[in-house]
A and B are shown apart, each in its own frame.
Chain A
Amino acid sequence: MSIKTEEMVLNMGPQHPSTHGVFRLKLHVNGETITKAEPVMGYLHRGSEKLAENFIYTQFIPYTDRLDYLNAMTNNYIYCAGVEKLLDWEIPERAEYLRVITMELNRIASHLVWWGTYLLDIGALSPFLYAFRDRDICLDRLNEISGARMTFNYMRIGGVKWDAPDGWIEKVKESVKELRENIAEYDRLVTGNEIFRARTIGVGKLTKDQVINWGLSGPIARGSGVNVDLRKTEPYSIYDRFDFDVPTREEGDVFARYKVRIAEMHESLKIIEQACEQIPSEGDIIHKKGARIMMIKPPAGEAYTRAEASKGEIGVYVVSNAKTKPYRVKLRRPSFVNVSILQDMLVGENIQNLVAIFGSLDVVLGEVDA
């Protein structure tokens, strides 16, 4: 005798503790096993790309902060770099170093938030608070240089807005030491935990082909053995001057992504340390024209620029028609592309694995919905 069972449609989100914002998953579940998953998004859509067409070039910079609000520096950077490519401007040395230091500090902050919230998703309470305590070290440094804790609006087309205050570089060096110790300690605290390993090893496997075909990037790709880090493979800014590794792992499961992110934080610390050593003590922080002109008019043309954000490949496609406003700005948001794998990946998993898998993608909804 067979018992008649019914599939249940479970609406996970838009308001749910582990969807990290307003993301909705329409799940068809059989018991707790997912038979079909349909992501629904757009709850946070603000029309950033439409807005960009109505602003002059410089005015759009603060809007990029709001995309991936955990990693706003790289968003700032990519937009400015996209316009600079059209303008063909040389960026002053000191500005490049300040950009790298702030971007890497921000990457660590972003990964720390991920680390904390991911473990909260898995069910461990304390790491969340530890992670936020250390993230504050990063944010304090960024606050001192940019005047904001999350939406920095620090980069300008042609350079950066503010020079580092007195003694800031020394402070960063100290913070690096502190962060290095703390991150290593957290690694020891969590990574060996038997329950944590049981929850993550072998869960949410992605093969190399899958990763490439679905266009996934960042730590997800590197966790599956795709050795693409734009800082290394296509060095932008001044990343070719630093000595750092690109951590990759072959397993492709949630645990591999976790390990990649932990290792990446250490690599970022290395970059910051080197940048703090190399940075010229004096010099311009913004291109001469960039400092003077508000109404930038790049020559007609179009360019796609990409960079490595903490979530993956961030890109900007700027089309200029030699006017003061951009003709079109397309933002390639890594989270938006990364989240598309969910519909394929979740089938056959149970709800607990869903949380572990979704968390491991490190999605920020501000970025998904643009």
Chain B
Amino acid sequence: MSQEVLDLVVEKVHGFLGEEVLAFEEPEPPAEEPEEEEKPARRKKPEPKVEKPADLNFGRPMIILDSKKWTLELAKMFRDDEELQFDFLSCVTGVDYEEHMEVIYNFYSTTKDHYLYVKVKTPRDNPSVVSVEPLWKAADYMERETYDLFGIDFPGHWNLRRILLQDDWEGHPLRKDYITDKKALGLD
């Protein structure tokens, strides 16, 4: 079920953009490792996760897009396409990876009963992701919150102001390089 939805989404996105942004070339499988004695598992380093632009994530379809490719029209396609109909925006959030930032949209379709994660990558300097607030009003507060805590700009949002922190707060606390002023907070 989820794999079908993923294939469908990939097909639609490629059809819309006219280029295969979600295609993924399998890296060459590493040469057969020499047979070694089994090491205790905990000493083994976790393998770096190879990110595929379109994949299943715990059974849920997930696609990764660049913020340049993410436009309001594409989002509108997600919402209005007959076969997709992602009408419910469940959650908007941001993650600060040290090298880039991501905005994650969790869509759900109340009519088709399927899910989609859309991860939009954006550079760390001047992060900016097109707002979907005109399409899903649910994004109103959640994008404001993401802006507030991460400093990601959402062009197209009608009222992008701080929401949880006070208006004159400096910095964006959930960024990894945010330095907590412990003195000011009385923690030190």
Contact = CB atoms under 8 A, between A and B. Distances in A.
Interface of A: 41-42, 45, 47, 49-50, 53, 85, 212-216, 226, 228, 233, 299-304, 306, 313, 315, 317, 319, 322, 327-328, 330, 332, 336-337, 339-341, 344, 369-370
B122 to A, nearest CB: 16
A328 B119 CA distance: 15
B36 to A, nearest CB: 22
B95 A337 contact: no
Contacts of A328: 95-96, 174
A327 B49 CA distance: 15
Given A49-B149, A315-B90, A330-B91, A340 B137 contact: yes
A300 B142 contact: no
A315 B141 contact: no
A212 B87 contact: yes
Interface string B138-172: 11111001000100000000000011111000000
A332 B91 contact: yes
Contacts of A215: 88-90, 136-139, 142
B2 interface: no
B151 to A, nearest CB: 14
Contacts of B162: 42
A47 B60 CA distance: 29
Nearest to B48: A300
6 contacts: A45-B165, A50-B149, A303-B58, A317-B104, A317-B106, A339-B141
The 9 closest A-B pairs by CB, nearest first: A215-B138, A330-B93, A340-B141, A332-B91, A42-B164, A322-B46, A45-B164, A214-B137, A303-B58
Contact of B106 (A315, A339, A340, A344): A315
A332 B106 CA distance: 11
Nearest to B142: A337
Contacts of A327: 95
A328 B173 CA distance: 12
Contact of A213 (B46, B90, B136): B136
Given A42-B166, A330-B91, A330-B93, 12 more contacts: A49-B149, A50-B174, A212-B88, A213-B138, A215-B90, A216-B138, A303-B58, A304-B60, A306-B90, A315-B91, A336-B141, A340-B140
Contacts of A42: 162-166
Nearest to A341: B137
Nearest to A369: B164
B89 A85 contact: no
A303 B138 contact: no
Given A42-B166, A212-B88, A369-B164, A337 B138 contact: yes
B110 interface: yes
B128 to A, nearest CB: 20
Contacts of B3: none
